[in-house]
Amino acid sequence: MSDSSNTDLIPADFLAILRCVNDAHPRDDGVLRIVGKTLVCTVCGYAYKVEDGIPNMLWDEAIPPSDSTPVCS
């Protein structure tokens, strides 16, 4: 695994098709962006961990915005 660049977290074309699974907003609106080692929803702010290049899109394991730990930037 390399942590040299956030853009290496997952392929850009993979990121482009992923959407936040929060029922609070339309699925298509839930565009994700890479923040540290997580994917953060641009709408609701929930974060999804990425492990070994695989995003964990389980809602039960999503990190609420208020609980997310600051990521070194």
Binding site for Zn ion (CB under 5 A): 20, 22, 30, 41, 43-44
> Which one, 8 or 71, has the nearer CB to Zn ion?
71
> Which one, 6 or 22, has the nearer CB to Zn ion?
22
CB crowding 12-34: b at 16 or more within 10 Å, else e: eeebeebbbebeeeeeeebebeb
**Closest distance to Zn ion from the beta carbon of 2 (Å):** 27
> Which one, 8 or 65, has the nearer CB to Zn ion?
65
**Closest C-alpha to 62, from 40, 37, 32:** 40
**Closest distance to Zn ion from the beta carbon of 24 (Å):** 7
